[in-house]
Each structure stands twice: as structure tokens, then as C-alpha cells.
Amino acid sequence: MGKAVGALICAARREEGACMAEDNDFYRRVRQRRQETNRRFAAFFLGVVILCMAFSFFFAMQSESMQRQYIYPYPYRSVVEHYAAKYKVDSSLVAGMILSESKFQSGAKSHRGAVGLMQLMPETALWISEQIDDQEYNPGELHEPQKNIEYGTWYIASLEKEFEGNDVLALAAYNAGRGNVHDWMEENHWGMDFREVSAIPYEETRAYVMSVLKNRQKYLELYGDRED
């Protein structure tokens, strides 16, 4: 009798233990699901916040003032406009070139040795100094914004004249060299009315011309002739 009762008690305890184990397993699964739901909700909420911030930033950057401050700045504007007027070239074109060349960083220097805001090669700058009879030219001055802008503006103005006002050819020559552009014109039978940027053989030069023309349009839209 005692053994039977003991067996029943043991069986009951085992069953109770099994039930508790099942309960624990059930509650563990519930907790895991709840935690997973919370994680998913948190990830979703974070995604919504990031998306809202991205949209806010995007629309803020569409405003004229934000574009002028952060995307298309115009330091040295008075210097650019002075030499653009002196050498009879569009100041918006020069500003667009500077943005593409150096992002208005006067200390910029390329791996090829091009220097300053308008990324002039020292030998080109020396040649320009001879053309404009700058007897006081010092190569060490090429990093200086005023000197660099003066020489770069004179150079693009001279290329505009050489290519009869064709901005595409003039910009291509500024980037790849006038000799290369004349070769392309001869090989491909381009006239002075050539406008097909995609036909320019050098990928870097194609990208440069497109970049400057886009920048020029933005500077024209954002600054125009306003005094600010």
C-alpha cells in the first residue's frame, strides 16, 4: 500500500514537473516572440525616423539659400567677376570651373601637379605670364586665389576665342589640352558648332565638361546678376 502511494506521489510530481517545464517553455516562447516584436517595431520606428530625416534634409537642400551655402558656394566672387569682366568671359562659367576643379579649395594640388583654385599646371601658368606680360610673376604665387583666378580666367577666355565661343570645345581643351582637342576635331570632322559632349574620347574630359556646364547653369540660377 505504502509503495503504491509513493509511486502515485512520484508520478504526480513528475507530471507536475513536466507541466512546469511545459509552462516555462510556453512562457519562454511568448517572451521571445514579444522581444522579437519589440525589436521589429524598434527597427521599423528607427527606419521611419531616418526616412523622415532624409526627406527633411533633401527638401532643405532644395532651398536656394541651402544650395548657395552648402552645394554651390561662391567665395572669391568679387575676384571672379573682376577678371571675368576684364577678360570678357562668363563669370558663372568660371565659378562652375572652380567648383569642378577644386571645390574652391585654394590649397588644392592634383597628383599631376596642377595647382590652386583653377588647377593650373606650373608650365601653363608660366606661359600665361608671358602672354599677359606679367613680369613680376612668381611660381610660388600660384596658390594665391587672386593670381590663380586671374590666370585661369585669362586661359579659358583665350580658349573661348580660339574655339569661336564654343564652351564644350574650350572646356575640353582646358582639361585635356588644346592639342588633343584639335586632333579630335580633325579625326572626327568636328566643326566649331560641335556640342556632342558624349563624343569626347576621354572619359575624364567628358565628365569634366558635363560637370562644369551643370555648375555654370546652377551658378547662373542661384546668383545671376544679384549683388549679394
Interior/surface letters 55-84, b for 16+ CB within 10 angstroms, e for the rest: eeeeeeeeeeeebbeeebbbebeebbbbbb
Mean pLDDT of the chain: 85
Per-residue model confidence (pLDDT) at position 54: 44
Q: Is residue 120 part of a domain?
A: yes
For residues 154 and 44, state if they share a domain: no
For residues 42 and 86, state if they share a domain: no
Q: Please, is 150 exposed, middle or buried when counting C-beta atoms within 10 Å of its C-beta (0-12, 13-18, 19+)?
A: buried
For residues 192 and 84, state if they share a domain: yes
Lowest mean pLDDT among 50-54, 91-95, 207-211: 50-54
Q: Is residue 68 part of a domain?
A: no
Overall residue count recorded for the chain in this entry: 228
Domain extent for 162? 74-222
Instruction: Give the residue-averaged pLDDT of 49-61.
Output: 46
pLDDT tens per residue across span 143-167: 999 999 999 999 999 999 999 999 9
Q: Is 101 a catalytic residue?
A: yes
For residues 183 and 78, state if they share a domain: yes
Q: pLDDT category, 27, cuts 50, 70, 90?
A: low
Phi, psi (degrees; rounded to nearest 5) at 100: -70, -40
For residues 150 and 184, state if they share a domain: yes
Residue 168 near residue 98, CB atoms below 8 Å: no
Count of domains forming the chain: 2
Identified catalytic residue from 81, 101, 150, 160: 101
The model carries a pTM of 0.73
Q: Is residue 228 part of a domain?
A: no
